[in-house]
Structure 1
Amino acid sequence: MNLFKQKQAILAPLLVLVVAIIFSLTLASSVNPTPKNLPIAIVNGDQGIQVPSKGNVNIGDMMVSKINKLSKTNNGEKPAIKWIQVSSEEKVRKGLDDQKYYGALILPSDLSKNQASLKTANPSPIAIKILVNQGKNTTGSTMASQMLTHIVENLNLTTHTQIFNELKKNVSSISVKQAEVLSNPIVANIENVNAIGTHTANGNAPVTLITPLWMSSLIGAVIVFLAKKKTQTSNSISKLKVIFEQLILGVILSFIIGFGITLMAKWIGFTLPNFLDVALYLTIAYFCFHILISAVMSWVGFGGVGIFALIFFFSGSLIGMPKELLPAFSKDWIYSWVPMRFGADGLREIFYFDKGLSMSHPMSIILWIGIISLLALSLSAFKPKKEVVNQAVTMK
């Protein structure tokens, strides 16, 4: 028998090419990841000063204008930073806790006053505060910190050059104290907000824990599905009974995996904010993922496994990245809806934002996934068997 006459052999090149293309698409997020519209807050608290010949002068306004100019691009692309002006530091900190910003730049109330003092014999440096929202995303917050530091360095150099040029025109010498302050007229005070702490995989603990949970829910759902197929069900009532037993088994698996992964994480050395909160969250997430996969397989059969395997491969490299670094395809068509991402986001709020086991946005999404999946799984009890469908088609 000639191998090349077999249908599988003829289709092999096409199938292999399709698989290669699908898995190559998972690399899209790693090709030149550059930030676009990274949300960073800016507060201009400068009160300004009265200058006899100019009236009220607000150096803070000038700096904000300078910062916006530095951040603009000339090629029409989206800027790296999306500046969001906020009225006070208190509101900024609330926004950081709500994960609205990766960082913030706080211009002090005495900015203009200290700027003017740089030209006197008793100068005061300008202290600008940089807030870095570490817990939101390690990669994103690190980028925000680097960009904010770079901006302050540019402002520092500009101020240094400007003041020195003015002094050279008006004075022949400066004091040691002036020279010391003018060498670094703007001081950046960096503060990590919602810090990731130590032993959290550099802030990637949520992704690290949700990955085995997802794979466990997939494998668990497959095993239960295969066991379910061996049960003898003659009507919808008996099918519902089996589904109820399936749910009980799912609950048991959820507690085993949820608490098991948490125990392993503690044993490995992860710093857990609260053991019970993490374990219960993982238990709930596992159950909802388990029911989701079970519901899909109850309608489309064993082929549903491929769907969730693809979800894992496509989203595994995405959920740990800030969405502002992702290409449009990955952000809009994968990151925006994958269940694993919501699972990791919920853990992030427990780990770094002191939310505990609460009805957060990620938690509500996960619960809705579970509720809708439970409904779909229950309705599958009323799906006619294939034999019945085939007989009806034959009779026609």
Structure 2
Amino acid sequence: MRTALVTAVAGAVVAFLLGLLTFGVQATVHPHDVPLAVVAPPPVADRVQAADSAEVDIRVVSADEARNLLRDKEVYGVLEIAPGQATIRLNPAVNPSGTQVAQQVLTGVAQGAGLPVRTETQAVSAAERTAPLAASALLWVGGMVAGLLFVVLKGRDLRWLSATAAAVLVTGSTAGLLAWWGVTLNVPTFAFLLAVATAFALLQAGLFKHLGIRAMGVLGLLYLMAPAVAGQVPELLNPVYRAVLWSWTPFRFSAEGLRSLLYDGSVSTEWWVFGGIALLGVVLLLAGKKAQTDRADGIVDVGVDQADGLPRAERQHTA
């Protein structure tokens, strides 16, 4: 009776937590303060600013300032209004969810002003939109499976070699998939993929060393919840999810870095993030002793003294 109740409650709690950390992210999506830029003459600019709301943050700026903001990914879209024409400019290096919201809002603003609208942006295929987050997830799964098998197969030495070899091979397989899907990778993008894969694999290997198979409880949960968060832009997330999950998840940094390198070739913070993750993995691999391997038959070693067949603690007590 007691076991039945405990297992039932445990199942309900796990389901609730998974729903909260995964589907809850998407179920609570709502735009707020989405940054947009508008270039318009004064009379029109006044009407545009009147369209500002809690969902969007419209900035009326000069043409040069607007393009700089878009290039630096500080806004999700730019609307340039000229006599008889409105042009929406988008940056493919920006998260597609944010770009979609920007295009919808700015199109509505232009149509409200009675102007025809055209959109200027680099053409992005479905594979290119999917690639940054998909690659991040594949790199994580590859390192996680390699670390798990090292534990299951009772590997003893050269755990670091298993992790680094897995990182190289998973990077190659992921790059091959992306190329097959039609995504062109340059040298900096491939180097970043390798850096992310290495950081993931080293961290996972370090956790498996200290926690054994129990590390899957942490790594599996991260895999389930992180992509749901990393695929969104912060201005669409519930503020709680933004602060508690989005702010630190490594999937966000890998997806944003890959997306930037695919289109404008500039990342900075991301290198430091994954350098730090790799360093943490190395520290875990070098520190302490590895977790005791779980016996396949479920028997726990209690330290039997072969001299008399008694556990060591009992033998000392009887002495």
Name the TM tier (shorter chain). 0.7 to 0.9
Q: Which of residues 17, 22, 33 in structure 1 aligns to 2:29?
A: 33
1:375 and 1:230 mapped to 2: Cα distance? 19
**Across the two proteins, how many residue pairs are aligned to each other?**
298
1:290 has 2:201 as partner: yes
SS at match of 1:204: helix
2:290 and 2:92 mapped to 1: Cα distance? 49
Look up the match of 1:362.
270
Look up the match of 2:295.
none
Q: Which of residues 40, 64, 68 in structure 2 aligns to 1:94?
A: 68
Tell me by how many angstroms 1:199 deviates. 5.1
1:66 has 2:50 as partner: no
Look up the match of 2:283.
375
Q: Which of residues 125, 138, 146 in structure 1 aligns to 2:96?
A: 138
CA deviations on 1:109-139 (whole Å, 9 max, x unpaired) are: xxxxxxxxxxxxxxxx433332122330212
Q: Contact 2:209/2:291 (CA < 8 Å) preserved in 1?
A: no
Code of the residue aligned with 1:8 in structure 2: it is: T
**Unaligned ranges ≥5, structure 2:** 293-300, 304-311
Q: Contact 2:131/2:178 (CA < 8 Å) preserved in 1?
A: no
Tell me by how many angstroms 1:196 deviates. 4.9
Q: How does 1:258-273 map to 2 (within 5 A)?
A: 258-267=171-180, 269-273=181-185
Code of the residue aligned with 2:195 in structure 1: it is: I
Tell me by how many angstroms 1:347 deviates. 0.9
Tell me by how many angstroms 1:285 deviates. 0.9
Higher Rg of the two aligned structures: 1
1:10 has 2:5 as partner: yes
Look up the match of 2:14.
19
2:59 and 2:281 mapped to 1: Cα distance? 39
Q: Which of residues 214, 221, 239 in structure 1 aligns to 2:147?
A: 221
1:381 and 1:279 mapped to 2: Cα distance? 34
2:59 and 2:285 mapped to 1: Cα distance? 45
Q: Contact 2:33/2:55 (CA < 8 Å) preserved in 1?
A: yes
1:270 and 1:363 mapped to 2: Cα distance? 25
SS at match of 1:100: coil
2:58 and 2:236 mapped to 1: Cα distance? 16
Moved over 6 A (4+): none
Q: Contact 1:134/1:142 (CA < 8 Å) preserved in 2?
A: no
Structure 1 residues 254 and 381: alpha-carbon distance in aligned structure 2, compared to 1, 3 A threshold: same
Q: Contact 1:71/1:81 (CA < 8 Å) preserved in 2?
A: yes
Structure 1 residues 383 and 225: alpha-carbon distance in aligned structure 2, compared to 1, 3 A threshold: closer
1:315 and 1:105 mapped to 2: Cα distance? 32
1:251 has 2:164 as partner: yes
2:57 and 2:106 mapped to 1: Cα distance? 12
Tell me by how many angstroms 1:324 deviates. 1.3
CA deviations on 1:131-188 (whole Å, 9 max, x unpaired) are: 12233021211111111010111122xxxxxxxxxxxxxxxxxxxxxxxxxxxxx343
SS at match of 2:135: helix
1:18 and 1:132 mapped to 2: Cα distance? 43
CA deviations on 1:66-100 (whole Å, 9 max, x unpaired) are: 2222223xxxxxx11112343x3233223222211
2:123 and 2:302 mapped to 1: Cα distance? 56
Look up the match of 2:246.
335
Q: Contact 2:146/2:166 (CA < 8 Å) preserved in 1?
A: yes
1:32 and 1:10 mapped to 2: Cα distance? 32
Tell me by how many angstroms 1:21 deviates. 0.1
Give the alignment's TM-score, normalised by structure 2. 0.83
1:155 and 1:271 mapped to 2: Cα distance? 38
SS at match of 1:34: coil
Q: How does 1:95-134 map to 2 (within 5 A)?
A: 95-108=69-82, 125-134=83-92
Code of the residue aligned with 1:271 in structure 2: it is: V
2:123 and 2:263 mapped to 1: Cα distance? 6
Give the alignment's TM-score, normalised by structure 1. 0.68
- What fraction of aligned residue pairs are identical, expressed as a percent? 20
Q: Contact 1:258/1:281 (CA < 8 Å) preserved in 2?
A: no
**Unaligned ranges ≥5, structure 1:** 45-59, 73-78, 109-124, 157-185, 232-241
Look up the match of 2:309.
none
Q: Contact 1:102/1:134 (CA < 8 Å) preserved in 2?
A: no
1:17 and 1:377 mapped to 2: Cα distance? 35
2:191 and 2:150 mapped to 1: Cα distance? 22
Q: Contact 1:288/1:366 (CA < 8 Å) preserved in 2?
A: yes
Q: Which of residues 97, 120, 135 in structure 2 aligns to 1:191?
A: 120
1:299 has 2:206 as partner: no
1:365 and 1:381 mapped to 2: Cα distance? 26
Cα RMSD, aligned residues only:
2.9
1:319 has 2:246 as partner: no
Q: Which of residues 32, 49, 57 in structure 2 aligns to 1:82?
A: 57
Tell me by how many angstroms 1:23 deviates. 1.8
